[in-house]
Amino acid sequence: MKYEEKSLKRKAAELRIEIVDMITRAGSGHPGGSLSAIDLLTVLYYSIIKVDPQKPDWNERDRFVLSKGHAAPAIYAILADLGFFPKEKLTGLRQFGSILQGHPDMRKVPGIDISTGSLGQGLSVAVGMALAGKIDKKKYKVFALLGDGEIQEGQIWEASMAAAHYNLDNLCMAVDHNGLQIDGKIEDVMNPSPIEDKFISFGWKVKSIDGHSLKEIYDAWNWARSTENGKPSAIIAKTVKGKGVSFMENVVGFHGKAPTKEQGREALDSLKKALNGVK
């Protein structure tokens, strides 16, 4: 698909509003990592990935794995906007009886390809999906989004080894590198750097980008999906946790805490201004 910066920018701004609105209503959730990931996901879902909201189980579709499942509000906002399920459902986030569980559930939400929430598992699932694509000689790609704290899980490196071993060049992964995890800065908690070198040494193709530059994101996802040299692709996207809401940016406390009603209103006001700025 074509790159249309203005419409993508507008979309990302709208989705930020949905995310903050959902989490504020719910009174719990993970705003920081949803906002850091939303630009990566907006470009993916509105200009790269091949999915059909009318046929969520379409066999030939591209797959997506939200390995950092706590960014559920981000993917929910997108799937609702694309028509996978009615937008009204967004108000039910994390509520009893809602399809929108705290972490994504593939059996409840159309468009979710795998249930996630427990960190470190999604990349392995993506490897399995990519392997199935190779067995069946399908053209679909498998996209995955990981957190940078998440890559502290040993299983990520088991999966990385397997992806390269089986030459899964249909696997396109991005790390949302916002530098923060619940207990603080990732380099203080358990330093995973140098991230790029690690994936290179595991046999991946690696590209580092600004995870809030829509053009860089677009080029990176395209690079990842079009690379067919036997290597899986990793995009290391430098991002800002809480991006777009000034009082949340780079504030570790907003990893898994909802804004108060008042903070929510303030955030929504500024996000709406930002959206008007795009128009």
Partner 1 sequence: MSELKATRDAYGDALIELGKKDKNVVVLDADLSESTKTAKFREHFPDRFFNMGIAEQNMIDVAAGLSTCGKIVFTSTFALFATGRPWEQIRNTVAYSNLDVKIAASHSGISVGADGSSHQSLEDIAIMRVIPNMRVIVPCDAPESFKATIEAASIPGPFYIRFGREKVPVITSKNDDFEIGKARVLKDGSDVAIISCGMMVFLSLEAAQMLEKEGINAAVIDMHTIKPIDTKILSQFADKARAVVTAEEHSVIGGLGSAVSEFLSETLPVPVYKIGTRDTFGQSGNPVDLIKKYKMTAGDIAEAARKAVSRK
Q: Which stretch binds partner 1 (CB under 8 A): 130-138, 175-183, 192-200, 269-277?
A: 130-138
Give the three-class secondary structure for 212. coil
Q: Is 136 in the site for partner 1 (CB under 8 A)?
A: yes
Phi then psi dihedrals of residue 115, to 5 deg: -75, 135
Quick one: which segment of 127-135, 202-210, 219-227, 244-252 binds partner 1 (CB under 8 A)? 127-135
Q: Which of 29, 32, 73, 133 binds partner 1 (CB under 8 A)?
A: 133
The H or E element containing residue 218 is helix 214-226
Figure out which of the listed residues 52, 158, 196, 249 binds partner 1, where binding follows CB under 8 A.
Answer: 158
Q: Does the protein bind partner 1 through residue 173 (CB under 8 A)?
A: no
Q: What is the dihedral of CA 80, 215, 34, 110, to 10 degrees?
A: 30
Using rule CB under 8 A, residue 107 touches partner 1: yes
From 14-22, 23-31, 59-67, 233-241, give the range in contact with partner 1 by CB under 8 A.
59-67
Q: Is 131 in the site for partner 1 (CB under 8 A)?
A: yes
Cα distance between residue 159 and residue 216, in whole Å: 26
Distance of closest approach, residue 195 Cβ to partner 1, in angstroms: 19
**Hey, is 152 helix, strand or coil?**
helix
Report d(CA 274, CA 219) in Å as an integer. 24
Write the CB contacts of 243 (distance below 8 Å, at least 6 apart in sequence).
Answer: 35, 36, 38, 39, 212, 249
CB-wise, 101 or 181, nearer to partner 1? 101
- Choose which of 99, 132, 275, 278 interacts with partner 1 (CB under 8 A): 132
Quote the distance between the C-alpha of residue 269 and its chain's center: 24
3-state helix, strand, coil in the chain (%, to 5): 50, 10, 40
The rounded distance, in Å, linking the Cα atoms of 211 and 219 is 11
Q: Does the footprint of partner 1 cover residue 150 (CB under 8 A)? A: no
Which residue among 7, 91, 95, 118 contacts partner 1 (CB under 8 A)? 118
Nearer to partner 1, 42 or 124 (CB): 124
118's tokens: 């427990």
Site for partner 1 in 179-198 (CB under 8 A): none
* Closest among 165, 180, 168, 118 to 143, alpha carbons compared: 168
Q: Which of 92, 102, 117, 203 binds partner 1 (CB under 8 A)?
A: 117
Strand partners, 143: 64, 172
Q: Does 130 bind partner 1 (CB under 8 A)?
A: yes
Size of residue set near partner 1 by CB under 8 A: 35
Candidates 159, 173, 209, 267: give the one binding partner 1 (CB under 8 A).
159
Binding site for partner 1 (CB under 8 A): 59, 63, 65, 105-107, 113-118, 120-122, 124-133, 135-136, 154-155, 158-159, 161-162, 165-166
